[in-house]
Amino acid sequence: MALIKNKLINIENLGVKIDKNNKKLNDGYSEKSEPLYIELAKIVKQFPEKTPAEILYSVDDVPAFMGDYDTTIHILNIKIDDAIKRLEVASYMQDRNSIQTEINNWKYVIEKLEKNREEFENANTMYEEYKKKHSGVIEIIFSQEVKNEIVRFNVFLSNAFGMAGHPFEEDIVREIKDRFIFAMRKDMGTL
């Protein structure tokens, strides 16, 4: 009987040692992944809250976003020039007000698109540099769930900012960014 108790105590002690080694392994993992996740979360939060298509969708009679800010803004400027010519020949006050509203709306959209482009380009530059700098670490340290969210985020960026876009559901940008950050927090064990 004493021999069996001895063996059980040794097994329990072995289990404690394994747990302590696992904790040290997890602590080392957290030490390496935490600053990477924090840096990535800061970058992800800097992406614009709206896609170019959503901005365009907020006003009537605008071109579709085809993945190129310059072309879209150029088309809007042509529309403004045309509206200014129509404004010069409009005889009724109601027509003039309607045309002036169109012009103001298109100018507003151009301002929003330029701001959106600047935010996207700045955040995307940081994001691409991050992925290039940490590509090996991402493969080794990041959980599969976080790597899956990186793929989803990349697809979203390509669909929303890089090719012919359509308006996404309201708040989808925030939802995608939050889901990405949630996966990182879950991986770090901060939930």
**Inside any domain, residue 18:** no
44 touches 181 (CB < 8 A): yes
Calculated CA dihedral for residues 9, 10, 16, 20, nearest 10 degrees: 160
pLDDT in tens, 144-159: 999 999 999 998 888 8
Label residue 79 by pLDDT band (50, 70, 90): very high
- pLDDT for 169 beyond 70: no
Q: What percent of the chain has pLDDT over 90?
A: 39
Phi, then psi, of 48 in degrees rounded to 5: -60, 150
In this prediction, residues 43-48 reach a mean pLDDT of 94
Distance CA 158, CA 96 (A): 40
Could you identify the residue written with the tokens 């072309």?
71
Find the domain containing 120 and state its range: 42-188
When divided into structural domains, the chain yields a total of 1
Query: How confident is the model at residue 18, as a pLDDT?
Result: 39
pLDDT in tens, 115-147: 999 999 999 999 999 999 998 888 888 889 999
**Inside any domain, residue 180:** yes
Query: How confident is the model at residue 173, as a pLDDT?
Result: 83
**Inside any domain, residue 65:** yes
**Inside any domain, residue 12:** no
**Inside any domain, residue 82:** yes
**Inside any domain, residue 20:** no
**Inside any domain, residue 11:** no
Would you call 66 helix, strand, or coil by DSSP? strand
Could you identify the residue written with the tokens 């709306």?
105
Query: How confident is the model at residue 176, as a pLDDT?
Result: 87
**Inside any domain, residue 17:** no
